[in-house]
Amino acid sequence: MTDNLKPLSTATLTLEDKSYSLPTLMGVEGEKSIDISKLRAQTGYITLDEGYGNTGACESSITYIDGEKGILRYRGYPIEELAEHSRFTEVAYLLLHGELPTVDQLNLFSKRLNESSIIHEDMHHFFNGFPRGSHPMGILATMVASLSTFYPVPDVLDEATEIQIVANLVSQVRTIAAFSYKKSIGEPLVYPSIKYRYVRNFLNMMFSSPVRDYQLDDDIVRAIDMFLILHADHEQNCSTSSVRTAGSSMANVYAVTSAGISALWGPRHGGANQEVIQMLEQIHAEGGDGTEFINQAKDKNSGRRLMGFGHRVYKNFDPRAKVLKKQCDKLLNKPGMNDPLLEIAMRLEEIALKDDYFISRKLYPNVDFYSGLILRAAGIPTNMFTVLFAIGRMPGWLAHWREMLHGKQVTITRPRQMYVGETERHFVDIENR
């Protein structure tokens, strides 16, 4: 326990006519917990908490969320302020180092990211080994894990090596992502350039070619930058917990972040914005404007579900959605932005925000609803949506890995279970079975 957790009174647990006193603690934002770290040793009992929704697995000073009030802060800074005033590289520095950078610190960090953006030339052969049409997330997870063979991690990390490894991952993840996309469409790779900053570099690697210059649109660059900021961290979610779990075994950081990428790939996690677009495509294919789909979604027996609305953590409005909606509206109102799916999305939003069914259940548009629209408007293919999420989340994963690594002690993650299988039985020869 750190000094930042304030001891409160004790909680009394009664089991089999015997009482036990358990310490209670309070965090810096007033959240309360019962310390059960000695529960099994004292009582012989464990807790059963499927999905860990009521379990605090660690102490962290990186991100604070209050789902009831719709609050999200990185290192104490409200997400609304960071999204409005910062750029992704500045937020990445904040997550990794705990403070917003000075001008000199940001320039040095940006320079290091640029110099670290090229991957080992021999890695290009790996891309050729994947079947045509391979999902970019599968390629990304594999290639990030393979970085450890090209950039070996020493058993004992000094500060300079750790900082360089972090820069490698934050920078090279976008290079690998862009190369994955180029291979999937059969176009030659476009190398990172010293001329561009982080987001512009990524978009140029994605969309330019030897026979076609990519015209960087300032509004799209800003929208993607904001997307990355809003996805940079989100407390102990599935992928971040996977990073901490893998990291607790002291696996190398490339394997650890690859575990995070793999967890993010699931449709219940990073794939949610892709499901929004698939829903819109379905509505469009059926010739509707979304009105009938909304009616069916309200009928629990219809099998239809409105994707991109509501959130497991936020019981009010998703603060990231509020920020992204403004950017989304700006993009969709640009001249020449004519997409029937985007029109359907706006219709769904309009209906849901006025319908008592959704209002009473607090099913507001979440960040996935707007992020899918922004990525589509920017020309990002649907199968690359989760890859963009992974690029944004990389600094958060690394911040949690570093926080764990430099804590008082690294305790390997080892949850307990409630066994529900067969009781003891004895081996029978195959002839007698």
Which residues belong to the active site? 311, 368
Angle, vertex CA 64, rays to CA 59 and CA 66, nearest 5: 120
Beta bridge partners of 23: 10
**Is residue 228 a contact partner of residue 385, using CB atoms and an 8 Å limit?**
no
Per-residue tokens: 78: 């409200």
Angle, vertex CA 163, rays to CA 160 and CA 164, nearest 5: 85
**Is residue 371 a contact partner of residue 324, using CB atoms and an 8 Å limit?**
yes
Would you report the helix, strand and coil content of the chain in percent, each value rounded to 5?
50, 10, 40
Q: For the sheet containing 71-74, what is the strand order?
A: 63-66, 71-74, 77-78
The type of residue at 27 is: G
Instruction: Tell me phi and psi for residue 271, to 5 degrees.
Output: -90, 5
How does DSSP assign 34-77, residue by residue? E--TTHHHHHS-----GGGTT------SSEEEETTTTEEEETTE
Query: Positive or negative CA dihedral for 364, 367, 373, 377?
Result: positive
Based on C-alpha coordinates, what's the Rg of the chain? 24
Q: Report the 10 Å Cβ neighbour count for 353.
A: 13
Rounded Cα–Cα distance for residues 221 and 225 (Å): 6
| Residues 12/13/14/19 CA torsion (nearest 10 deg) | -50
Helix (H) or strand (E) holding 20: strand 18-26
DSSP class of 121:
G
